A and B are shown apart, each in its own frame.
Chain A
Amino acid sequence: MTHLLHRAAWRLLGGILVLLAAASLTFAALHLTPGDPVTAILGGASANPTPEAIAAARHEYGLDRPIAVQYALYIARIARGDLGQSFSQHMPVIAVLRAQAPPTLALMASSLAVAWLLALLSVVPTARRGVAGAIASTLETIGAGLPQFWLGILLLWGLAFEWRLLPPAGNHGLPALVLPTLSLAIPLAGFIAQVMRESFDLALDQPFILTARARGLGDGAVRLRHALRHALLPCVSLSTWAVGALVGNAVAIEIIFSRQGLGRELFLSVATHDMPLVSGIVLFIALTYILAGFAADTLYVLIDPRLKGTRP
């Protein structure tokens, strides 16, 4: 039990260090951007702030102090949960996150779920089954190679404009989620399915599969109850990576489908040099990624109980 607590403590410490690194990087970015950080904070050179506003901002952000003190203050502020003000939105960064995160998280969750569903449907019934396997494997390779923004535009044109089956834009309701989800999920499904197929094939060659068949178990049960579980581990690892990649790809997809969300917000805040908002979004993405890592670790042990105690 103390051992488990020990491990949980280490994981927590690791997560905090990752957040600290992300915060430090955005701090560095803020201070390495060409020009006066204050101009960046106040909206870039084009914003033409008054000298009073510059002085006020300089004092508010502690920019008249040594850089080490500034860094310490910045970290201390984040540790208190204060991410600062977004000047372009004229509201606290926290409030922007609260409004923009849910649609992006919903898009990520539905994309990941649909990608898994497609991968399972493609691999489980066709692995090691001659022509069907070859066809499915080819489709997976093609799917993995599709650029997501291109697929998004194609789906938009076909399903939304030509056939008018689904709404082309917006955030309202499930129908609006379908096209963005498919654009993100189809290429990801290709990746997951390729990894799954390889380990599924390997699992089907294992002696315990022969034992299961020798018991009189049917082929479907052999695949679902034995081989599948052995094929899941690498797919879970891949999904952790995918959570990170989905945020990046959401930038293009949210813009193409005019959706609200962090991807679009990140794009806009970078374009307007709204550094408090950029660093707030980066920290939020880092946090999501860390939580995905925790979830993956829990899943690993559920799938393969032998890993209990071996992972740090």
Chain B
Amino acid sequence: MTLEVENLSVSFPTPTGEHVAVHDLSFTLRPGRVVALVGESGSGKSVTARSLIGLAGPTARVSAQRLSLGGQDLRRLSPRDWRALRGRDIGMVLQDALVALDPLRPVGREIAESLSAHKWGTRAGRNQRVQDLLEQVGIPEPALRARQRPDELSGGLRQRALIASAIALTPPLLIADEPTTALDPSVQAQILRLLGRLREGGTGLLLISHDLGFVSRLAEHVIVLHHGTVVEQGETARVLGRPVHAYTRTLLDADPVRHPPRITTHGTGTPPLLTAHDLSLSRRGPDGVARRILSDVGFSLHPGRTLGLIGESGSGKTTTARIIMGLTQPDTGDVTFKGERWVRGGRQGVPEGARRPRRRAMAMIYQDPLGSFDPRWTVREILADALSAGGDPSGDRDHAIATLLDRVRLPPAIAARRPAGLSGGQRQRVAIARAVAVRPALIVCDEPVSALDVSVQAQVLDLLEELQRELGMAYLFISHDLGVIRRMCDDVLVMQGGRIVEAGPATQILTAPRHAFTRTLLDAAQDLSAA
């Protein structure tokens, strides 16, 4: 069954006129083949995917010269025909199974619903089929897993369960919209292999991604979308190897892997800015049993240097960052900051009052800064608040704010706007400006670019580097992206299950790792990067 798309256009009416989301897109998807749609947010990838199954929304205007599946014209389908087609002829996998599967229901019922929606089999037959499907996507103990909810499964298992629900009726075509975004690299590699197996089994795959490395591992044909228009398309090796269009080159160059590795400029001769010693923390789970979250974590960080923290989700990276920030009290261990005791484990913690004078020497940048801004405040108010917290003596607040905005390469007009009205990149720049406003000696960056498009990501990383050069801050840098770590960090800590399993200079860890777990991480990243 072949999907033929010729000059597909999708537009939405807006108060200011027609917004064209996709313009004249053409491609052909055959069984056993993989076509990739690549582009950044707002490029029209997801709208295309939804249009192909008739779910672009009630206000969408979809037109095409040809839109057919196995000879059937999709342009004239009734709502009932679309329903019959969805799931049976074309399956769909979205990103992040935690929200793409109903979080209140066991995954087995979600998968069974794919069958019952098309009146497939009897109840007993469907239950058997659910178990077979879970086994097929590589989930051990399928009978147990079918009864668990997405939040009770690991990231890898629930993404597999989501794929199982999409392929329940073995549709000849599958649309995967960012199927691995927000997953750990090792899980991404597993999903990549699973999709590869489906392709070998004869499934045609429309792969939607912003990740060129991931795409290059699966797709034969790549379409690069920019603002709804195809800027380049063709055979994967040709498009990614010898890009013709400037935008494709921008996308490729933005990949941190292509950036030269970090050049260390600040040595460790000076006294350390921050020293953490033997940090441990246990927490009681929902069942009342205490679990070790962090065991004997220790490191030191010198002025002007960047220390990377890598490991899978749940390995204790963010907990470590919170202890360093003095937001979580550890059971044991201590942290020295600027030569004085900053955190002490156990009952005799350092009181917040004693920390306050040095609090402003530390700042934090989050993955999604939106939640850390008061939505009613304008950028001016956010920065003014940070400046006064930092004890800014200058009387001219407006000048100080303009200087800050200039420092993070934002136009002064941004000051009057609210965070919700800004793009992801602009928002992260405001967050950086806020962090820098207190003139800190240390900034803790928790996945600061993970939610950004690659080209924006590259610009934000450039900015962080420049600011470090100009202001001499140290960074504690958490990221799951080894390319980003390689580009930004002097030293690296590898965490697994709350412990540091390996520590050392970034060049050594990323090229000649000693610990088996670090090698697994590197292999997974290798599997995903562009060949």
Which A residues contact B (CB, under 8 angstroms)?
Answer: 2-3, 6, 206-208, 210-218, 221, 225-226, 229-230, 303-306, 308-310
Which residues 47-73 of B have a CB within 8 angstroms of A? 50, 53, 55
Query: Is the CB of B286 closer than 8 A to any CB of chain A?
Result: yes
Asked whether B86 lies within 8 Å of A230 as measured between CB atoms, the reply is no
Interface residue B416 (Cβ < 8 Å from any Cβ of A): no
A residues near B429, Cβ cutoff 8 Å: none
- CA gap between A222 and B178 in the complex, in Å: 23
A226/B87 contact (C-beta < 8 A), A216-B117, A306-B151, A308-B286 known: no
Which residues of chain B are near A211, meaning CB under 8 Å? 92, 94, 100-102, 110, 162, 165
Inter-subunit contact A216/B87 (CB<8 Å): yes
Q: How large is the interface on B (under 10, 10 to 19, 20 to 34, 35 or more residues)?
A: 20 to 34
Point out the residues of chain A lying under 8 angstroms from B101, CB to CB: 208, 211
Partner of A218, one of B53, B83, B151: B83
> Do residues B91 and A214 form an inter-chain contact, with CB atoms below 8 A?
yes
B149 at the binding interface (Cβ < 8 Å): yes
With A206-B99, A306-B104 in contact, is A2–B85 under 8 Å at CB? no
- By the criterion CB–CB under 8 Å, are B55 and A214 in contact? yes
Q: Nearest 3 pairs between A and B by C-beta? A: A309-B286, A214-B92, A216-B87
Residues of the B chain whose Cβ atoms lie less than 8 Å from the Cβ of A215: 86-87, 113-114, 117, 165-166, 168
Please report which residues of chain B, range 278-299, place their CB below 8 angstroms from some CB of chain A when the two chains form the complex. 286-288
Smallest CB gap from A6: residue in B: B288
Chain A residues lying within 8 Å of B149, measured Cβ to Cβ, are 305-306
Are B94 and A210 in contact, CB atoms less than 8 angstroms apart?
Answer: yes
- On whether the beta carbons of A305 and B104 are closer than 8 Å, the reply is yes
Taking Cβ atoms with an 8 Å cutoff, the residues of B that contact A are 50, 53, 55, 83-88, 91-92, 94-96, 99-104, 110, 113-114, 117-118, 149, 151, 162, 165-166, 168, 286-288
- Residues B94 and A207 in contact, CB atoms below 8 Å apart: yes
| Interchain CA distance A211-B94 in the complex, whole Å | 7
Secondary structure call for the A interface: helix
CB pair A216 B99 closer than 8 Å: no
Cα–Cα, bound, A207→B110 (Å): 13
User: Is B103 in contact with A306, judged by CB distance below 8 angstroms?
Assistant: yes
Contacts of B84 in A (CB 8 A): 216
A2 to chain B: closest residue by CB: B288
Contact of A214 among B86, B95, B103, B286 (CB under 8 A): B86
| A278 CB, nearest partner CB in chain B, Å | 43
Shortest CB–CB separation between residue A8 and chain B, in angstroms? Answer: 14
In the bound complex, residues from chain B placing their C-beta under 8 Å from that of A206 are: 99
Candidate in B53, B165, B288 with the most chain A CB atoms within 10 angstroms: B288
With beta carbons under 8 angstroms apart, the residue of A208, A217, A310 that contacts B286 is A310
Residues of B within 8 A of A230 (CB): 104
Report if A207-B96 is in contact (Cβ < 8 Å); known contacts: A3-B287, A212-B113, A309-B286. yes
Considering the chains assembled together, what is the distance between the CA atoms of A304 and B288 in angstroms? 20
Q: Is the CB of B83 within 8 A of A216?
A: yes
CA distance A211 to B55 in the complex (A): 10
Q: Which residues of A contact B86 (CB under 8 A)?
A: 213-216
Q: Which residues of A contact B113 (CB under 8 A)?
A: 212, 215, 217, 225
Contacts A207-B96, A216-B83, A217-B113 known; list 12 others, CB within 8 Å: A3-B288, A208-B103, A211-B101, A212-B102, A214-B92, A214-B166, A215-B86, A215-B165, A216-B86, A216-B88, A216-B117, A218-B117
Q: Find A304's partner among B104, B168, B287 (CB 8 Å cutoff).
A: B104
Shortest beta-carbon distance from B153 to chain A in Å: 13
Within the assembled complex, what's the spacing in Å between the Cα atoms of A309 and B151?
A: 14
B165 CB contacts on chain A under 8 angstroms: 211, 215
Measured in the bound complex, the distance between the Cα atoms of B88 and A210 in whole Å is 16
The reply to whether A208 and B287 form a contact with Cβ atoms under 8 Å apart is: no
Contacts of A306 in B (CB 8 A): 103-104, 149, 151
Given A216-B83, A306-B149, A309-B287: A208 touches B100 (CB 8 Å cut-off): yes
Q: What are 5 sample pairs from A and B whose C-beta atoms fall under 8 A apart?
A: A208-B103, A210-B50, A211-B101, A212-B102, A216-B84
